[in-house]
Amino acid sequence: MKTIGMLGGMSWESTASYYKAINEGVKSELGGLHSAKICLYSVNFDEIEKLQHQGKWDETALILVEAAKSVEAGGADFLIICTNTMHKVASEIESNVSIPILHIADATANKLVIDGIKKVGLLGTRFTMEQDFYKSRLVDKFGIEVIVPAENDRVVVHNIIYDELCRGVINSDSKEEYLRIVKRLHEQGAEAVILGCTEIALLIQQVHTEVPLYDTTEIHAAQAVQLAISDMKISQISC
């Protein structure tokens, strides 16, 4: 089994979801007492969040590069960044380690392509919804059209993430706001909606709407599991 390197803590609420999903995935695939081999570096999100909102992305990259180096030194075979937003600095991290990164947008887009989704709505932080580092990857690499909420709704989505979900606060009014925005994206032609922040699935899940939702945490974790056990599966087939 490969060792999964995790850059977490952004926030720790969603990192806990990753840890649970990955271990449950390995247990489901291999049975018995199997669990995932993980090397986790959990950052102090307060430092990251302040730098994000100050636009000091180079400084966030430095923090995550050092964390990634530690994870690699700890024996990780590949790396996952347990947050959508900080994939903004994925290329900087990738250029400073020798292990590959399983990119969250690629993992999600691969599933969208398999499911035949051509046009998708995107929820996330304002950084993810408004900047090109995430959307352009879906468009240019996978040919998926991306739409985002109107500006006022982007503010709502962003503030709920930082003021509530990253603090472990689940608010029923916020859930209704998110579902309203999901419905609006669907009315604008989105065939599905990406939950493009790893905390959003703490608030809304597929049972709450008929609009197909793509939970990036779940998808990313599942693909990490498959990569981690891929050699074991090959070995079993050979035997």
Active site residue 83: yes
**Strand pairing partners for 66?**
none
Active site residue 15: no
Catalytic hit among 166, 197, 216, 217: 197
Nearest to 5 by CA among 19, 16, 26: 19
* Cα distance between residue 2 and residue 189, in whole Å: 40
The kind and range of the H/E element at 8 are strand 4-8
| Largest pairwise CA distance in the chain | 58
Q: What is the rounded radius of gyration, in angstroms, for the C-alpha atoms of the chain?
A: 17
| Residue 43 DSSP code | -
Catalytic hit among 60, 83, 125, 198: 83
Catalytic machinery residues: 83, 197
